[in-house]
Structure 1
Amino acid sequence: MKKVVLITGGSSGIGKSVGEFLTDKGFVVYGTSRNPDKIKNHSFPLVALDVNNSATIEAAVAEVISKEGQLDVLINNAGMGITGPIEETPTQEMRKVFDTNLFGAIDVMKAVLPQMRKQQSGLIINVTSIAGYMGLPFRGIYSATKGALEIVTEAIRMEVKNFGVEVTNVAPGDFATNIASGRYHTPVFENSPYKKVYQENLDLMDAHVDSGGDPIEMAKAIYKVINTSKPKIHYKVGDFMQKFSIVLKKILPDKVYEKLLMNHYKL
C-alpha cells in the first residue's frame, strides 16, 4: 500500500519541493495552505489548513483520513520568520511566530496522533532550522521557536514510541525559498541605536536566502528519513559550514563561539 503523506505549508518553498518529490516517488501526498483555492497548477492536492486555527487542523486531518483511510507521514513544515532587535520587536509579533512555529506544529501533531496510534504506525517529521541550535542576533525569536520545537520533538518522541510512532527533526540551513517575503520584519527605525548594524544584517540574511541551496536537497533528505526504519532524533541539511557551526558550539567555550558569531555578523 502506498504511504499517505500530509505536508503543512505545502504550497511553496520547501513544502512544495518535498511534495513534488514524494509524489514522483509514488507517495500519496496532500499539502496544506490557508487558501488552497488561490494556488494554481499544483502537482498534488492541497487542503485548507491554518496552523493557528485548531478547527481547520482537525478538518484537514479528517479529510485526508476519510479519503485515504490512513495517514502514515506528517511533515510539519508550515512556519514563518521574524527579524529584528529583540528590544524593538513587538511582543505581540513574537507571540504570533511562537503560535505558528511551535504551538501550530504541536496542534497538528496532536491531531494526527490518534490515527497513527490506531494504525500502530506513523512518522512525524518536524522541520526546524539550523538557526534553532544557536541564538542568532536579530533572529533570536525565530531561533527560539525552532529550538523549542527541537526540544518538544525529543520529548514527544519518547512519549509515543510505544505506540509504533516515530518522531524526528530535520533542520535545514539556508535554502532559496520565499521565506524572506513572508516573515515579519521589525522596521529599521531612523532613530534606532541598532539602525546601521540591523540593516547590514538584514541585507546579509536576504543574501544568504537568495544564494541558498536548492530545496530539492531537503526533499531528498526527507525521502531518506521516510525510508529509514529507525530514524535518528536530529537531522541537519545544509552546507558544510552551516552544519559545522553546530559542532563548533559544542566544542568551543561559550564566549569564543559568541565572538565567532559576532565577527560573522559584524557586531
Structure 2
Amino acid sequence: MSKVVLITGGSSGIGKSIGEYLIKKAFKVYGTSRNPDNYKESLFPILQLDVKDVTSIKRAVKTIIDTEGRLDVLINNAGAGITGPIEEIPEEEIKANFETNFFGPINVIKAVLPHMRAQGSGLIINITSIAGYMGLPYRGIYSASKGALKLLTEAFRMEIKDFNIEMTNVAPGDFATNIAAGRYHAPILDGSPYEKPYGDTLKLMDSHVDTGSDPNLMALAIYKIITAKKPKIHYKIGAFMQKFSIVLKRILPDRLYEKLLLNHYKL
C-alpha cells in the first residue's frame, strides 16, 4: 500500500521538488498552500492550509484522513525567511516569523499525532536549516526560529517514542529556490549604523541562494529518510562547507568560530 505523505508548503521550491519525486516513487502526496487556486497544474493535490491558522490545519488533515484513511508521513516544510539587524526588525515581524517557522510546525504536529498514534505508526520530518545550528549576522531571527524547531524535534522524539512514531530534523543549506523573494527584508535605512554592513551581507546572502544546490538533492534525501528502517535524529543536506561549518562550531573555540563567520560575511 502506498504511503500517504503531507508536505506543508508543497506548492513551490523544496516542497514541490520533494512531492514530485515522491509521486514518481508511487507515494500518495498532498501538498499545501495558503492559496491553492494558484497551483491547479500541480502534479499532486494542493490543500488550503496556513500554518498560522489551526482551523485550516485541522481541516486539511481531516480531508486526507477522510480520503485515504491514514497519514503516514508529515513533512513540515512550510517556512519563511527573514533578514535584518535585530535592533531594527519590527517586533511584529519577529513574532510572525516564529509563528510560521516554530509555532506553525508544532500545530501541524499536534493535528497529525492522534491519527498516527491510532494507526500505530508514522514519521514526522521537520525541515529546519543549517542556519539553525549557529547565530548568523543579519539572519539572527531566522537562525533562532529554525534552531528552536531543531531542539523541539529532539525533545518531541523522546515524548512520542512509545507510539511507534519517528521524528527527525533535516537541515538544508542554500538551495536554488525562490526563498529570497519570499523573505521579509528589513529595509536598509539611510543613515543607519547598519546601513553598509547589512546591505553588503544581504547581497551576499542572495547570491548564495542563486548559486545554491539543486532542490532535487533534498528530494532524494527525503526519500531515503522515509524508506530508512530507523531514521537518524539529525540530517544535514547541502554543500560540503556548509555542513562542515557545523563540525567547526563544535570543535573550535567560540571566538575563533565567530571570527570565521565575520570573515565569511566580510564584516
Whether TM-score is above 0.5 comes out as yes
* Number of positions where the alignment pairs a residue of Structure 1 with one of Structure 2: 267
For normalisation by structure 1, the TM-score amounts to 0.99
Q: Which residue of 2 aligns with 1:48?
A: 48
Q: Which residue of 1 aligns with 2:38?
A: 38
Q: Which residue of 2 aligns with 1:214?
A: 214
CA distance in 2, matches of 1:59, 1:44: 18
Q: How does 1:101-116 map to 2 (within 5 A)?
A: 101-116=101-116
Q: Which residue of 2 aligns with 1:185?
A: 185
Alpha-carbon displacement from aligned partner over 1:91-124 (angstroms, at most 9, x marks no partner): 1100000000000000000000000000110000
Q: Which residue of 2 aligns with 1:5?
A: 5
CA distance in 2, matches of 1:161, 1:25: 28
CA distance in 2, matches of 1:237, 1:155: 22
CA distance in 2, matches of 1:22, 1:169: 19
Q: Which residue of 1 aligns with 2:176?
A: 176
- Percent of residue pairs identical: 69
Cα shift at 1:38: 1.6
CA distance in 2, matches of 1:244, 1:20: 29
CA distance in 2, matches of 1:258, 1:62: 46
Q: Which residue of 2 aligns with 1:69?
A: 69
Q: Secondary structure at the match of 2:116?
A: helix
Q: Which residue of 2 aligns with 1:19?
A: 19
Cα shift at 1:37: 1.0
Q: Secondary structure at the match of 1:44?
A: coil
Alpha-carbon displacement from aligned partner over 1:111-170 (angstroms, at most 9, x marks no partner): 000000001100000000000000000000000000000000000111111101000000
Alpha-carbon displacement from aligned partner over 1:2-31 (angstroms, at most 9, x marks no partner): 100000000000000000000000000000
- With 133-142 and 32-41 compared, the bigger mean Cα shift is at 32-41
Cα shift at 1:207: 0.2
Alpha-carbon displacement from aligned partner over 1:23-56 (angstroms, at most 9, x marks no partner): 0000000000001012131111111100000000
Task: Give 4+ residue runs of structure 1 displaced > 6 Å after superposition.
Answer: none
Q: How does 1:245-264 map to 2 (within 5 A)?
A: 245-264=245-264
Letter paired with 2:183: R
Q: Does 1:153 align with 2:153?
A: yes
CA distance in 1, matches of 2:183, 2:242: 21
CA distance in 1, matches of 2:38, 2:174: 27
Q: Secondary structure at the match of 1:117?
A: helix
Q: Secondary structure at the match of 2:125?
A: strand
CA distance in 2, matches of 1:199, 1:40: 37
Q: Which residue of 2 aligns with 1:198?
A: 198
Letter paired with 1:116: M
Q: Secondary structure at the match of 2:156?
A: helix
For normalisation by structure 2, the TM-score amounts to 0.99
CA distance in 1, matches of 2:9, 2:68: 20
Q: Secondary structure at the match of 1:78?
A: coil
CA distance in 2, matches of 1:177, 1:130: 16
Alpha-carbon displacement from aligned partner over 1:231-260 (angstroms, at most 9, x marks no partner): 110000001000000000000000000000
